[in-house]
Structure 1
Amino acid sequence: MESDEALANRVLEEEDPINELQMEIDDRVVQLLALHQLMATDLRFVLAISRINNDLERIGDQAVNIAQGALRILRHPRVKPYVDLPRMSDLVEEMVRNALNAVVRRDVELAHKVLATDDQVDHYRDQIFRELLTYMMGDSSVVFPAFELILVAKNLERIGDHATNIAEDVIYIVQGQDVRHPTVDRR
């Protein structure tokens, strides 16, 4: 976790272009659905791409939240050495990369790898929460930056959830199987 204000500002500058891309893709999905009678596999693909588009936009929103938090954190002394947060960040970045590669390759095995990684990300989030809450209880001067770090961890966890959603959509595209809610009986 490097202190890079310029990088945080670059992330903030990308929000509008990402939102514009989402709207453009949404428009193309609507055109496809309105103008073509799609076969089942094509319809699954278009519906999944629409959901993936939404997840990618939400990942962008979470990245903006992280960048805004980073700018606030940079105004304070470091709460503690960052160990778990960079590990969590690397893991989430890998999840997003693997989810997108799974889409491009229609790789169900890689999609399942993303799904399996989600629990690790949740574990890091919980560990970071516990550790930072302990710091906050011990030293009130670190409450603000520690709370911001908790929010960063929460946003990273949400990015991991969106990568998981994308991976689930890959399985839907390739196998026609909806694995989003395995306990729901869909008879």
Structure 2
Amino acid sequence: MAPDLTREEFADGIETLHRRLSAMGQLALGLVEDALVAFYACDAQAARAAMTADDEIDRIDVEIEQHAVELLTAAAATCITVAPATIRQLLTVVKVNNEVERIADAGGEIAALAAVADAGQRDLPATTRVMTNSVVGLMRDAMRAFARQDADVARVVLASEHVVEGFKARILRTAEQRVAAGAMSVDAAFNLQELVSHCMFIADHCTNIAEQVIYMQTGLIVRHTDEQWVERPSAEEP
């Protein structure tokens, strides 16, 4: 990147990274969806195909991080004045990049579970599909909020996380009861626990993305209390 970077070129560079990361988010969403389909179908071949997408996402993750560093280095060398909102946008790209990469890792773990699944996993608590569908919807909304820089959609994501937590508790309770009654094998229950844990992990990272979108658009820091999500001024705000 040229050392005589202008403010316009800096902003254009961030926009390019934003578009690249939005596309990476769609790849990660596809990975999670494919991994879940493979899990429910006990399809080892489809699971292995899903896992290959994680390698591509890892490559893009490194590429985005490197370009972000190059952009900051060029800006520092040129000593250009950058607005706080522009800095927030770049910081958000770097942080969301990490969140998406970790979501993709969780999708890869779900695919790995599917690769060793057996027919015993087909008889899962009905709430399982409801939970996994909810997580996919949560991720879709989180990536839409980031791509469109939409704080309102991000707030919808934050408001939905507790629903996923409730599904997890119900699923694990049902699994415990089935194991105790001899209606579910220990192996199937273990795989189910792994699945819902990975899904909860994905949901957590989706809320992290939503927090970053709100910060990017408003400069407010989002914190979770016992009752609700709270938006507070950051140190940069008066």
What are the within-5 Å matches in structure 2 for residues 35-46 of structure 1? 35-36=74-75, 37=80, 38-46=82-90
Query: What SS is found at the alignment partner of 1:178?
Result: strand
- 8 Å contact kept, 2:179–2:186: yes
C-alpha distance in 2 between matches for 1:35 and 1:120:
44
Q: Which residue of 2 aligns with 1:70?
A: 114
Q: Which residue of 1 aligns with 2:182?
A: 139
Q: CA deviation at 1:123?
A: 0.6
Q: Select the structure with the greater relative contact order (CA < 8 A; seq sep ≥ 6).
A: 1
**Alpha carbons of 1:103 and 1:13: their partners in 2 closer, same or farther (altered >3 Å)?**
same
Q: Which residue of 2 aligns with 1:160?
A: 203
- 8 Å contact kept, 1:69–1:149: no
**Residue 94 (str. 1) matches residue 137 (str. 2):** yes
Deviations 1:146-176 (A, max 9, x none): 1111110010111011111111111001001
Q: 131-140 or 80-89: which moved more?
A: 131-140
**Alpha carbons of 1:148 and 1:16: their partners in 2 closer, same or farther (altered >3 Å)?**
same
Q: Which residue of 1 aligns with 2:104?
A: 60
**Residue 15 (str. 1) matches residue 68 (str. 2):** no
Q: CA deviation at 1:82?
A: 4.1
C-alpha distance in 1 between matches for 2:232 and 2:154:
21
Query: What SS is found at the alignment partner of 2:221?
Result: coil
- 8 Å contact kept, 1:172–1:179: yes
Unaligned runs of 5+ in 1: none
Q: 76-85 or 30-39: which moved more?
A: 76-85
Q: CA deviation at 1:137?
A: 2.5
Deviations 1:72-92 (A, max 9, x none): 222x52363441111111111
C-alpha distance in 2 between matches for 1:81 and 1:126:
14
The structure whose residues are more often strand, as a share, is: 2
Q: 47-56 or 33-42: which moved more?
A: 33-42
- 8 Å contact kept, 2:220–2:233: no
Residue of structure 2 aligned with 1:126, choices 164, 169, 191 = 169
Unaligned runs of 5+ in 2: 1-39, 225-229
Q: Which residue of 1 aligns with 2:68?
A: 29
Q: 43-52 or 176-185: which moved more?
A: 176-185
- 8 Å contact kept, 2:150–2:213: yes
Q: CA deviation at 1:25?
A: 0.6
Q: What TM-score, normalized to structure 2?
A: 0.72
Task: Give % identity.
Answer: 28
Q: Which structure would you say has the larger Rg?
A: 2
C-alpha distance in 1 between matches for 2:112 and 2:94:
27
Q: Pairwise CA RMSD of aligned residues?
A: 2.2
**Alpha carbons of 1:79 and 1:134: their partners in 2 closer, same or farther (altered >3 Å)?**
farther
**Alpha carbons of 1:50 and 1:186: their partners in 2 closer, same or farther (altered >3 Å)?**
closer
